[in-house]
Amino acid sequence: MSDLAEYARELHESESKVINETLEPVEYPAKSEKLFNIRAVICDVYGTLINYWKPGFSSKNERSETILQSFRIIIDKFGFREILGTLNCNDAPEKTLSDFYNGLIALNHEKLYKKGVMYPEVKIEDIWSIIYAILKRNGYNYTEYCTCTENDFPRYLAYTYNFYSLGRSLYPGLSNSLETLKLSNINLGIVSNAQFYTPIDLTLMIRDQSNEKYDDYSEIFEGDMTFYSYEYGVAKPDQLLFRKLFDVLYEYHILPEQTVFVGNDLATDIQAAAEVGMKTAFFCGDRKSTFISSAGGEVIPDITFTTWASLPEKLSFYDEGGNKCD
């Protein structure tokens, strides 16, 4: 286990909070009740596998304050307060750090827009590297707060911010459902807007939910069917990630129409996957993370489901007669 993964495990085990919430399923039409001749299921992560909602996200103002609180925690945990106060005496340190963070992301996106990238993605550790460089130039010494190498320190900052800013749980029944699909000869993969810390968190959460039956998320998902946006500089609904996936499906002798994409966003996930010829499963398990937006009524998924426990019943490796298809 890497030092960062160990840091993540310790943080997860000591400070993860169980959020008791009532999920509110959403009704949305679908073309079918069940799909047949399915060889692969490819999942989005946030809002589909990981429930990132937390109570502070109930309104725009509350969300802003919750995010600022995450920056406050990092400032105190890593000793930024005095330097940030010196850099900008007119705002609270958490506001200054937030402005740095969001401004650098916006600048990175703008550069990629000018290069013709319609849906840009950053490597979030690069953003924190710039923030660290600013702090270092003003006298900050990270070794007083972290035993990692200097090159790794921005990744520790990125992971810590992610940990405190988002909710941390899998949707109920997820690990059992994925196991059932895998035992049904269906290959599992991921195509998601995500960062380097996403597989770390998936591993920790799947380990918890499966009662340590699975030690690593790669025991469930095929590594060569896993594609994260940060690795390619583009985000869904850009089709690059799907084209990368199709190259691998070809090697497995799996067609796009034998593949189901599972997502919680009607435009970014369902419409984007359908446009490249995949079957689609719209996860409508909770109103807070089911995004219909302007695509509502125009985009109809092949199936919908509101609990992960129900998904395996809606997908079959065999044809409608119960026969294996080549």
* Residue with tokens 């079957």, as numbered in its chain: 279
Is 320 within a domain? no
Amino acid, single-letter form, for residue 77: K
Q: How far apart are CA 188 and CA 206, in angstroms?
A: 14
Q: What is the pLDDT of residues 113-128, one digit of tens each?
A: 999 999 999 999 999 9
Tell me the pLDDT band of 20, cut-offs 50, 70 and 90: confident
Tokens for 22? Answer: 């009532």
- Domain-ending residue, one of 165, 183, 214: 165
| 246 in the same domain as 174 | yes
Whether pLDDT at 214 is above 70: yes
| 110 in the same domain as 140 | yes
Domain that holds residue 181: 3-52+169-314
Question: 74 near 160, Cβ under 8 Å?
Answer: yes
Q: Does the CA dihedral 205-209-215-220 come out positive or negative?
A: negative
| 256 in the same domain as 275 | yes
| 42 in the same domain as 86 | no
- The pLDDT, as a whole number, for residue 319 is 82
What percentage of the chain has pLDDT greater than the value 90? Answer: 90
- The pLDDT, as a whole number, for residue 325 is 65
Q: Where residue 275 sits, what CATH number does that domain have?
A: 3.40.50.1000
| 185 in the same domain as 82 | no
- Domain-ending residue, one of 112, 140, 165: 165
Q: What is the mean pLDDT of the chain?
A: 95
The number of domains in the chain is: 2
- Domain-ending residue, one of 165, 189, 218: 165
Q: What is the mean pLDDT of residues 96-114?
A: 97
Is 78 within a domain? yes
